[in-house]
Amino acid sequence: MEQTLYEKVGGQEAIEKVVDYFYSELVLKDETVSHFFEHTDMGKQRRHQAKFISFALGGPNQYSGKSMAKAHANMNIQPKHFDAIAKHLHDALAHFNVEEPDIDQALSKVESLRNDIQYK
């Protein structure tokens, strides 16, 4: 039986490490997107993001947050912001030795949400 991408990357514990690196080392150090998180409870944000990414990678559906459109309402996220976040996710997954075809698969799921996130 073929492994899900969630299993291939190492499950919940590995995803939590990716999410921590994603925010700590990439997103929050990037002036083009860090301002979106100035008034955000980052502990809560990391937990939501780990659940969302786990689900997006074929893991258990633990995500119970707002819809993507509602979560990004009134943020006016532009293509450059979306692209920066997608690149940071790519780099975070690569940092933890996720193979490029698997990263591409994960990013295609993220890309499918572009219209729910941008210009809201």
88 annotated to bind ligand = no
Asked if residues 52 and 106 have their Cβ atoms less than 8 Å apart, the reply is: no
35 annotated to bind ligand = no
Asked if residues 49 and 18 have their Cβ atoms less than 8 Å apart, the reply is: no
- Count of positions (residues) in the chain: 120
Alpha-carbon distance of 2 to 24, in angstroms, equals 32
Could you tell me which residues are annotated as the binding site? 48, 72
Could you tell me which residues are annotated as the binding site for heme? 48, 72
